[in-house]
Amino acid sequence: MRKWITTLMLTLTAHLTSWADPRSPFESELARLAGRAAQQCGLVSLHRAFAKGWQCAVEADRSGQPFWFAVQGQGEDSEVWSAAIRTPSGEHVVLDYDSNVAGGRGLNPHFSRTSCPASIEYLPTEVPPFRCKRV
């Protein structure tokens, strides 16, 4: 009986914790890097239209506002995302994410962060689609 109650409490705690912050580790990292006031230009799922999101990012960058824009990549057995970010301090960052770099089930997130000396370009046919513009 005691073991059952402990299991129930742990399950409820995990459920309530995930309900309190429903963001994925990737979304949490986007918010952390770009800041709370950042323009959220979109999370574009695999094979979806991206032009509006990229235009939002370009306009935010031109006006000096922090932003993030992310597109999903084709993963083998995990979620893969790439994002263009402008931080509140004006730094441009390319963030790549793999939900489980070891593959298989479960969450074992890996982030790769590249700081750009200038802005970011978006090449939708490339993998990954974002790269630092050459100065």
DSSP E strand stretches across 11-91: 39-44, 67-73, 80-86
- The pLDDT tens digits for 17-58 are 333 455 789 999 999 999 999 999 999 999 898 999 999 999
The three-state secondary structure class of 70 is: strand
- The pLDDT tens digits for 83-104 are 999 999 999 999 999 998 887 7
Whether 7 has a pLDDT exceeding 60, the answer reads: no
Beta carbons of 86 and 61 less than 8 angstroms apart:
yes
Q: What is the pLDDT of residue 124?
A: 87
Phi–psi pair at 119, nearest 5 degrees: -85, -175
Q: What is the pLDDT of residue 114?
A: 97
DSSP state of 55: H
Instruction: Map out the domains of the chain as residue ranges.
Output: 27-132
